[in-house]
Structure 1
Amino acid sequence: MTNISVPNHDWNTALYQDKHAFVWQYGEDLLKLLNPQSGEAILDLGCGTGQLTAKIAQAGAEVWGIDHAPEMIEKARNNYPHLHFDIADATNFQVEQPLDAVFSNAVLHWVKQADLAIASIYEALKPGGRFVAEFGGKGNVQAIVSALNSAITAMAIPEPQTRNPWYYPSIAEYATLLEKQGFEVIYAHLYPRPTVLADQEAGLANWIKMFAGTFFVGMSAEQQAQVIHQVEDTLRPTLYQQENWTADYRRIRIVAIKV
């Protein structure tokens, strides 16, 4: 693997594992689409703390996990010392031997240079190899993003849109990118997946701190707290029910074959 670190987000791995386990728990269902077989060579692209990598290994596949965040890889190695993990960038990674499959859960919405990631995935696969992924699709967390932008604008902090770290494509947009690189898209699905957040009242604030840190670049702790409080006030009528916050997730699932 090519070791490339692009640290553009500070990951709190304890908060990730303890309060955001839904990231990989929902991903377990995606493994049915992957259907890993014994002896297959599979890459878990954006493996996080390694839970789904371990699930793939349990099927008998030879699996590697890569993530651009050193703290995620360190935690994955601690969690699963018998598996192989590397620091690498989704837009520029290499493998020693062509793979049967590339699997990716809840990662590619962080990769704005989608064409570069797709090119790297294509090059890593054998002819006939499959790419199986799920990530945020068009409209994902739209209510949360809108509330964040509004709260930041209200504080006269300029250009909140430039702070958004995510890429949420439509099926047509992403399938077109795949086909341009030489993939055949055999399955694509965009669906709403409202996601209940842990820790009840603190759930939305925890989510924002975990995933939306780039919105707060240059702000004081007091300003950050003010923004989060305003976002909670804005979204409470729609996303807070029965003492739990629910994030307005929309996910895109893709299966594509290298032809």
Structure 2
Amino acid sequence: MVQSMKDDGINAAVMDAEDLTFVDQFDAVFSNAALHWCKDHDKVIAGVKKALVPGGRFVCEQGGFGNIKVIREALHAALQGRGITDLEARDPWNFSDVESMSRLLVKYGFTINSIELIPRPTRLPTDVKDWVDLFGNTFLVGFDAETRAAVLEEVQAACASLWDEDHGCYFADYVRLRYEAKLEH
């Protein structure tokens, strides 16, 4: 995608959102389904502020507080049942609530035009095990194949409430945090 954008004459680069290097370069910053993968939202918002020109807009949608609650609780329980206590180190996500993200945006000089949590159950293309294996694999680091498979089975069983009989599939309990803010002059 970045190369395609460059081919179209758009300034695009790949970098860590917690270490943005742009200074006063953009009228707008847009992020979709990325910032919940960043542990330090303070550093992200500081970098977005630095990248925007005065009056610039920041529009974002990310996983919000309560996102994948059932899946996450099942993962935590499965690991705790095996004596794993470093859950924070293994958990790749940071799901902010409206209040904490609002405070952070205001701290960096943004005026919030809108901010809300939106429940959005999302159909999984496979089962919960495959979803966790792809997106939550940091929870499974260090397990042998047999233990890994057992954890995945346990998590899937604990997520039975996510099964939708009418559709014949699982729906993840996604919650999105969506906001638009303007950087003051």
> Is it true that 1:254 corresponds to 2:159 in the alignment?
no
Structure with the bigger RCO (C-alpha within 8 Å, sep 6+) is 2
- Equivalent of residue 217 in structure 1, options 137, 141, 166: 141
> Is it true that 1:124 corresponds to 2:48 in the alignment?
no
Shift of the 197–162 alpha-carbon distance from structure 1 to 2, 3 Å rule, reads same
The 5 Å alignment of 1:43-192 reads 50=1, 65=2, 77=3, 82-83=7-8, 85-95=12-22, 98-192=25-119
Tell me how far apart the structure 1 counterparts of residues 17 and 87 of structure 2 sit (CA, whole Å). 26
Q: Does the 8 Å CA contact 2:5/2:12 hold for their aligned counterparts? A: no
- Equivalent of residue 197 in structure 1, options 124, 137, 147: 124
- Name the SS for the 1:91 alignment partner: helix
**Count of residues in correspondence between the two structures:** 180
Q: Does the 8 Å CA contact 2:24/2:50 hold for their aligned counterparts? A: no
Structure 2 counterpart of 1:240, one-letter code: W
Deviations 1:44-64 (A, max 9, x none): xxxxxx3xxxxxxxxxxxxxx
Structure 1 counterpart of 2:151, one-letter code: V
Shift of the 154–96 alpha-carbon distance from structure 1 to 2, 3 Å rule, reads closer
Tell me how far apart the structure 1 counterparts of residues 113 and 38 of structure 2 sit (CA, whole Å). 22
Shift of the 161–125 alpha-carbon distance from structure 1 to 2, 3 Å rule, reads closer
Tell me how far apart the structure 1 counterparts of residues 92 and 5 of structure 2 sit (CA, whole Å). 29
How far did 1:94 drift?
Answer: 2.1
Shift of the 97–178 alpha-carbon distance from structure 1 to 2, 3 Å rule, reads closer
Please name the residue that 2:159 is paired with: 235
Q: Does the 8 Å CA contact 1:216/1:224 hold for their aligned counterparts? A: yes
Please name the residue that 1:45 is paired with: none
- The runs of 5 or more residues in structure 2 that have no matched partner are none
Structure 1 counterpart of 2:177, one-letter code: I
How far did 1:219 drift?
Answer: 1.0
Q: Does the 8 Å CA contact 1:140/1:251 hold for their aligned counterparts? A: yes
- The runs of 5 or more residues in structure 1 that have no matched partner are 1-49, 51-64, 66-76
Deviates more, 1:153-162 or 1:243-252: 153-162
- Name the SS for the 1:87 alignment partner: coil
Q: Does the 8 Å CA contact 2:61/2:176 hold for their aligned counterparts? A: yes
Runs (4+) of structure 1 moved beyond 6 Å? none
TM-score, length-scaled by structure 1? 0.65
Tell me how far apart the structure 1 counterparts of residues 87 and 39 of structure 2 sit (CA, whole Å). 17
User: Percent identity, aligned pairs only?
Assistant: 37
Tell me how far apart the structure 1 counterparts of residues 75 and 24 of structure 2 sit (CA, whole Å). 44
Tell me how far apart the structure 2 counterparts of residues 104 and 147 of structure 1 sit (CA, whole Å). 28
